[in-house]
Structure 1
Amino acid sequence: MVQLNPQAAAKVLNAATSLRPILGIVLGSAFGQVAESIEVDATIDFAALPGCAASSVEGHTGQFIIGRLGGVDVVVQAGRLHYYEGYSMAQVTYPIRVMAAFGVEQVLLTNAAGGIATDLAVGDFMRIIDHINLMGANPLRGEASPGLPGFVDMSAAYSESLGQALGQAAADCGIELKSGVFAAVSGPSYETPAEIRAFATLGADAIAMSTVPEVIVARQLGLEVSGLSCITNAAAGLAKSA
């Protein structure tokens, strides 16, 4: 069994930089180019961190990038680990625990998602205001974390203040930021049209195969959370024919 030691991994980050950012960003699919805008102070491959696995998904480089973005000190997780890759929930969420051990207090989680809501079009950005966990798994199941709650309150998982800041940043860039409920499935197969109709009935506005496990662990660790989806396609059965 892989030994996960976020404190040991955080020491590697501490040794690589004098920066101590409180904001962490997870770059999901469709957000990889954000890394090119970072004033880089240090780059650490996942392979250099005790217990950290490597992503096998194209476009997910598997690095922590520490530097400045928009004048703010950040630690950026460039490359996400997915449950559908065969990793355990503990491995998928390990980078969040590493960032928390490094001193991060706020985290922005991004993803590429399929649009379910009729007001979401390809190219839209959606601020996540709540989620539905359809993955059939929970990262806290069977995890004994001394000093941390096992039963985590998810009634306000997404920070309203961070969400408002995200909205203001989007407005400053001339981007219309929509908001909605995000649903997560385990993948790797895509959803059927019948499933999408069911998820819409449940209240889902967008869907993807990530993010929710990290949100749960971030909340267990007491981090403020914000989520951002880029709508890259219409969900199954919803694409308009030419």
Structure 2
Amino acid sequence: MKILSLLPSIAAGVLAMLPAQAANVSVAVAANFIAPMQRIAAEFKKDTGHTALLAFGATGGFQAQIANGAPFDVLLAADAAAPAALEAQRLAVSGTRFTYATGRLALWSPRPGYIDREGQVLKNGTFSHLAIANPKTAPYGAAAVAVLDKLRLAGRLQSRLVVGANVAQTCQFVSTGNAELGFVALAQVYRDGKLAAGSGWIVPAHLHAPIRQDGILLAEGSANPAARMLVDYMKSDKVGNIIRSYGYER
């Protein structure tokens, strides 16, 4: 009889762990964060039952869309400035801004042995095209320009630049051979402690401003419990391990 009397409370406990109703979360995600966020979204659904609907693009573009009423619940930006601006404009929930990752910039080519470990190929290489993301809308593009300025190569290489709308398109330019090499997010070409393919130079952090990537709960998502749950989930140790496996710092 004692065992039977415990069954209702056990069942109630199990039900309390499950989401009352599976919901969707609309998430605007920086283009550099495609691969890790796809993994995180899969784990989020497995653990909570909620579905993260992901849109990838340039942070500057998302900021403009949100200001014009785009119905995103959460923004995972490629910088800290966009979430801060949206918070100041009351387009995001005050006090929910957090740093989910610090990005690293890499000079990459799919050709093994093409890029040396010091990035000297930028000075000595005979390449025709160098891909970068749009520095006006993509933080990784701004970081790439800062590196070229620091190395005093901006003027010399200006005519060889191929500019992508975001860092995902920039990586595609290099992958398809439209540019021999390019500045991309390390996460795009890095898996479990090494380059997944080709050759690359991990750009020293002192050559550009830190690429602090902040997330924030947007006003649109303030009444969506699943959106708040995703924000909390992004801060978990489980997500931190996934993020680090792609070459980000936490």
TM-score past 0.5 threshold: no
Greater RCO, 1 or 2 (C-alpha within 8 Å, sep 6+): 2
Q: Whose Rg is larger? A: 2
TM-score w.r.t. the length of structure 2 is 0.28
Q: Give the number of the structure whose residues are more often strand, by fraction.
A: 1
